[in-house]
């Protein structure tokens, strides 16, 4: 207590008393700033997704080396004095040599214990003496726990050598959810608030700040509160030894924690499903939402990166720029929706009265004539007669060409806007694609030159294209997930969030506004698609679901889509998967994205069964 009172008295004298001139005060005091540890990021069940781990280092307290440095400098000066003038070292050179020599002696003690052969880096050591004298100098960093234990046991207690424990960011699951969680950068200028001495010479320990993902968006919350200390120093700049050398001190405080809506079990299952048979990442995106609340249950974008090293997880020969490894394809990927958009076209045609759910049928001969051009169905032999249910089940292009052209582009685009395809979702993640594109005559007229289209004239062929999700409409996988979640609730809007709130109410937005017979016709078509149609590879035994597949062309690549939700009678989870095929390769939605959707739904069902105490059907794995 006496030491603390003495330090406080000295501090008040130095800062407030007339006994010290301002110049003397500044020369006699130094301020050290230490950042607080960042808060943790948890999954919805309280499991750590991002945290902090201890980082073990061997440090040297330079203030305790003054006597040794002086003695070593005298020896070096004496030895070089006998040399010819041209071979002698000047004072600065001798001082640097003395510093390295003394530091190396201590490092050799560590080398002996750890059986290493490390060398002191002269430039680093001298830079530390010149600019960071009050901070411990790190001789060895990132020690293994067993090395730390050995040094604790064998190093002398009263030694300038110290085993130092700091905190470093830890991603226990590696690259899992990297695009959602983000990564950090080094903060070389942490600030301590409401702490005196900001006009003093300062020494700042390195901290961290969020660079992407949740680490960036919630940086103000995760960021710890920096601590500070003010020390008395002697004329050489060394800290005055003992308790009286510490004038004022405040300990750092850890930042606040964040609980995400991510389900770690579901995330792990999705990550595994997004690999091919040889363990390589499939390029694309997968996302699942809680239909009731809009909470994100899983979010995967591939390829991804190691958030600790910020190193792409790619084959060595892969082109990082071309692969878009830093792109969060869930929120930033811009894809034509393909035949998943037929849900929108069906709703628009039912709303317009062009399709009667109970009676309207149309025969598909394998193509549909628009102007002087035949627009093909993917079944070149034709599907035969189909109502809206069968057209959705079999993804019949001709049916949607017919009724899309009949109702016109403005009603189709109005339906797309009704489900939010014309604006970002507003999720709490950075860099979301802000300009999703719903194509219609007004859009083409305003943008044809910007996008180098042939002209600004809209034709019936353009309507046929957008009716099946081709053409110039572009959306993100997250927008598609919001659409299918909204449809499952019988509404038109879902506000996604990646933050978990156990008290979050069920979302209630604008009703879809269709008679039950019309809504059920689309629902039944999607359920048939899931059971026996193009989406049957998404099916999970014992889980009543609904799905729609799609294959979209983008340049020379095909995109495989599946949107799905389950259970039909109590909608809980909406899933969207988009995979990017190789150039010039056939890449169907149901056959490629379907099994990924099935894996996600199966993992979700098994978890629901476990929580309900039901046996898990292991044969479906």
Q: Could you tell me if 351 and 498 lie in one domain?
A: yes
Q: Could you give the CA distance from residue 580 to residue 582 in angstroms, rounded to a whole number?
A: 7
The answer to whether the predicted template modeling score (pTM) of the entire model surpasses 0.95 is: no
Q: Could you tell me if 286 and 249 lie in one domain?
A: no
Q: Could you tell me if 215 and 272 lie in one domain?
A: no
Is residue 510, in this structure, part of any structural domain at all?
A: no
Q: Could you give the CA distance from residue 124 to residue 286 in angstroms, rounded to a whole number?
A: 46
Strands 296-302 and 284-290: antiparallel
Is residue 428, in this structure, part of any structural domain at all?
A: yes
Question: Residue 39 belongs to a domain with what CATH number?
Answer: 3.90.1310.10
Inform me whether the pLDDT recorded for 366 exceeds 80: yes
Query: 255 with 221: CB under 8 angstroms?
Result: yes
Q: Could you give the CA distance from residue 471 to residue 113 in angstroms, rounded to a whole number?
A: 68
Strands (E), 211-355: 227-232, 246-250, 258-259, 284-290, 296-302, 305-306, 311-312
Q: Could you tell me if 42 and 172 lie in one domain?
A: yes
Q: Give kind and range of the element (H or E) at residue 114.
A: helix 91-114
Question: Residue 375 belongs to a domain with what CATH number?
Answer: 3.40.710.10
Inform me whether the pLDDT recorded for 619 exceeds 50: no
Strands 373-376 and 384-386: unpaired
Instruction: State the average pLDDT over residues 222-239.
Output: 89
| DSSP collapsed to 3 states, 458-523 | CCHHHHHHHHCCCCCCEECHHHHHHHHHHHHHCECCCCCECECCCCCCCCCCCECCCCHHHHHHHH
For residue 427, what is the DSSP state?
A: -
Q: Could you tell me if 470 and 603 lie in one domain?
A: yes
Inform me whether the pLDDT recorded for 260 exceeds 70: yes
CA dihedral 226, 230, 231, 237 (to 10 degrees): 80
Is residue 394, in this structure, part of any structural domain at all?
A: yes
Is residue 97, in this structure, part of any structural domain at all?
A: yes
Q: How confident is the model at residue 615 (pLDDT cuts 50, 70, 90)?
A: low
Is residue 509, in this structure, part of any structural domain at all?
A: no
Q: How confident is the model at residue 359 (pLDDT cuts 50, 70, 90)?
A: very high
Q: Could you give the CA distance from residue 388 to residue 362 in angstroms, rounded to a whole number?
A: 9
Burial class from Cβ neighbours inside 10 Å (0-12, 13-18, 19+) for residue 83 reads exposed
Share of the chain above pLDDT 90, in %: 73
Instruction: State the average pLDDT over residues 380-402.
Output: 97
Least confident of 345-359, 390-404, 571-585: 571-585
Half-sphere exposure of 167 (CA within 13 A, CB side): 17
Inform me whether the pLDDT recorded for 197 exceeds 90: no
Q: Could you give the CA distance from residue 596 to residue 603 in angstroms, rounded to a whole number?
A: 11
**pLDDT recorded at residue 527:** 99
Query: Which residues contact residue 123 at a Cβ distance below 8 angstroms, ignoring those fewer than 6 apart?
Result: none
Q: How confident is the model at residue 308 (pLDDT cuts 50, 70, 90)?
A: confident
Q: Could you give the CA distance from residue 452 to residue 405 in angstroms, rounded to a whole number?
A: 24
Q: Could you give the CA distance from residue 558 to residue 555 in angstroms, rounded to a whole number?
A: 8
Query: Which residues contact residue 65 at a Cβ distance below 8 angstroms, ignoring those fewer than 6 apart?
Result: 102, 103, 160
**pLDDT recorded at residue 311:** 65
**pLDDT recorded at residue 7:** 47
Query: 283 with 312: CB under 8 angstroms?
Result: no
Q: Could you tell me if 592 and 462 lie in one domain?
A: yes
Query: Which residues contact residue 547 at a Cβ distance below 8 angstroms, ignoring those fewer than 6 apart?
Result: 526, 529, 530, 535, 538, 562, 563, 564, 565, 594, 597
Q: How confident is the model at residue 1 (pLDDT cuts 50, 70, 90)?
A: very low
Q: Could you tell me if 253 and 364 lie in one domain?
A: no
Q: Could you give the CA distance from residue 244 to residue 355 in angstroms, rounded to a whole number?
A: 87
At 547, phi and psi to the nearest 5?
Answer: -150, 165
- Averaged confidence pLDDT in the chain: 91
CA dihedral 437, 404, 585, 594 (to 10 degrees): 90
Is residue 511, in this structure, part of any structural domain at all?
A: no
**pLDDT recorded at residue 92:** 93
Task: Report the domain count for the chain.
Answer: 2
Q: What is the pLDDT of residues 506-550, one digit of tens each?
A: 999 999 999 999 999 999 999 999 999 999 999 999 999 999 999
Paired tokens of 178? 């990297």
Residue with structure tokens 């598909």? 364
Q: Could you tell me if 237 and 346 lie in one domain?
A: no
Q: Could you tell me if 129 and 166 lie in one domain?
A: yes
Q: Could you give the CA distance from residue 325 to residue 312 in angstroms, rounded to a whole number?
A: 6
CA dihedral 125, 131, 137, 138 (to 10 degrees): -80
Q: Could you tell me if 347 and 254 lie in one domain?
A: no
Query: 345 with 528: CB under 8 angstroms?
Result: no
Instruction: State the average pLDDT over residues 595-606.
Output: 98
Question: Pick from 259, 279, 295: which residue ends a domain?
Answer: 259
**pLDDT recorded at residue 21:** 62
**Inter-CA distances, 107 with 137, 152, 427, Å:** 11, 15, 51
Inform me whether the pLDDT recorded for 380 exceeds 50: yes
**Inter-CA distances, 278 with 44, 210, 272, Å:** 31, 34, 11
Q: Could you tell me if 243 and 329 lie in one domain?
A: no
User: Which of 211, 208, 210 is CA-nearest to residue 219?
Assistant: 210
Inform me whether the pLDDT recorded for 321 exceeds 70: no
Structural domain boundaries enclosing 470: 264-504+516-620
Query: Which residues contact residue 502 at a Cβ distance below 8 angstroms, ignoring those fewer than 6 apart?
Result: none
Q: Could you tell me if 246 and 337 lie in one domain?
A: no
Q: What is the pLDDT of residues 94-120, one digit of tens each?
A: 999 999 999 999 999 999 999 999 999
Is residue 301, in this structure, part of any structural domain at all?
A: yes
Instruction: State the average pLDDT over residues 201-213.
Output: 90
**pLDDT recorded at residue 620:** 32
Question: Pick from 227, 259, 291: which residue ends a domain?
Answer: 259
Q: What is the pLDDT of residues 6-52, one digit of tens each?
A: 444 555 555 555 545 677 777 788 888 999 999 999 999 999 999 99
Q: What is the pLDDT of residues 67-94, one digit of tens each?
A: 999 999 999 999 888 888 777 889 999 9
Question: Pick from 259, 293, 310: which residue ends a domain?
Answer: 259
Inform me whether the pLDDT recorded for 162 exceeds 50: yes
Strand partners for 362? 386
Q: Could you give the CA distance from residue 352 to residue 407 in angstroms, rounded to a whole number?
A: 7
């Amino acid at each position: 207590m006496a030491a603390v009172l003495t330090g406080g008295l000295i501090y008040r004298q130095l800062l407030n008393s007339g006994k010290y001139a301002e110049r003397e005060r500044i020369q006699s005091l130094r301020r050290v700033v230490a950042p607080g540890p960042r808060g943790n990021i948890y999954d919805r069940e309280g499991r750590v997704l991002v945290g902090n781990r201890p980082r073990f280092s061997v440090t040297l307290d330079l203030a305790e080396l003054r006597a040794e440095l002086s003695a070593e400098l005298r020896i070096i000066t004496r030895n070089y004095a006998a040399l010819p003038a041209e071979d002698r070292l000047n004072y600065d050179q001798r001082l640097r040599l003395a510093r390295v020599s003394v530091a190396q002696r201590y490092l050799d003690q560590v080398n002996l214990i750890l059986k290493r052969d490390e060398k002191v880096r002269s430039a680093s050591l001298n830079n530390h003496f010149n600019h960071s004298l009050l901070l411990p100098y790190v001789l060895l960093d990132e020690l293994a726990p067993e090395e730390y234990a050995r040094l604790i046991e064998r190093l002398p207690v009263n030694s300038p050598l110290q085993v130092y424990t700091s905190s470093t960011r830890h991603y226990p699951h590696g690259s899992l959810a990297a695009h959602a969680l983000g990564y950090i950068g080094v903060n070389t200028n942490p600030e301590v608030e409401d702490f005196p001495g900001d006009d003093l010479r300062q020494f700042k320990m390195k901290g961290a700040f969020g660079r992407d993902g949740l680490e960036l968006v919630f940086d103000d919350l995760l960021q710890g509160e920096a601590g500070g200390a003010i020390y008395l120093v002697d004329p050489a700049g060394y800290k005055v030894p003992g308790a009286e050398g510490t004038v004022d001190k405040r300990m750092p405080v850890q930042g606040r924690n964040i609980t995400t809506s991510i389900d770690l079990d579901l995330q792990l299952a999705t990550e595994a499903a997004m690999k091919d048979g040889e363990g390589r990442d499939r390029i694309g995106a997968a996302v699942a939402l809680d239909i009731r609340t809009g909470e994100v249950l899983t979010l995967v974008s591939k390829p991804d990166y190691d958030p600790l090293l910020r190193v792409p997880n790619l084959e060595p020969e892969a082109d990082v720029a071309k692969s878009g490894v830093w792109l969060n394809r869930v929120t930033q990927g811009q894809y034509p929706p393909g035949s998943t958009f037929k849900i929108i076209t069906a709703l628009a045609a039912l709303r317009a009265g062009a399709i009667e759910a109970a009676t309207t049928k149309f025969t598909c001969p394998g193509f549909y004539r628009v102007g002087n051009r035949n627009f093909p169905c993917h079944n070149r032999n034709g599907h035969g007669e189909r109502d809206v249910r069968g057209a959705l089940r079999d993804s019949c292009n001709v049916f949607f060409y017919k009724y899309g052209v009949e109702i016109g582009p403005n009603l189709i685009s109005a339906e797309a806007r009704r489900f939010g395809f014309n604006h970002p979702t507003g999720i709490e993640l950075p860099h979301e694609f802000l300009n999703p594109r719903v194509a219609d005559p007004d859009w083409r007229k305003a943008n044809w030159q910007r996008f180098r289209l042939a002209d600004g004239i809209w034709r019936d062929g353009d309507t046929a294209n957008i009716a099946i999700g081709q053409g110039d409409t572009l959306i993100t996988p997250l927008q598609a997930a919001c659409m299918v979640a909204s449809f499952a609730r019988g509404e038109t809007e879902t506000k996604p969030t990646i933050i978990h709130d156990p008290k979050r109410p069920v979302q209630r937005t604008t009703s879809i506004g269709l008679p039950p017979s019309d809504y059920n016709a689309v629902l039944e078509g999607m359920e048939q698609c899931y059971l026996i149609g193009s989406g049957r590879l998404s099916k999970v035994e014992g889980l009543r679901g609904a799905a729609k597949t799609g294959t979209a062309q983008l340049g020379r690549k095909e995109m495989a889509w599946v949107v799905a939700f389950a259970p039909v009678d109590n909608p809980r989870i909406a899933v969207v998967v988009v995979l990017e095929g190789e150039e010039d390769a056939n890449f169907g939605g149901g056959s490629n994205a379907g099994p990924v959707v099935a894996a996600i739904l199966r993992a979700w069902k098994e978890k629901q069964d476990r929580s309900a105490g039901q046996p898990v059907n292991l044969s479906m794995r």
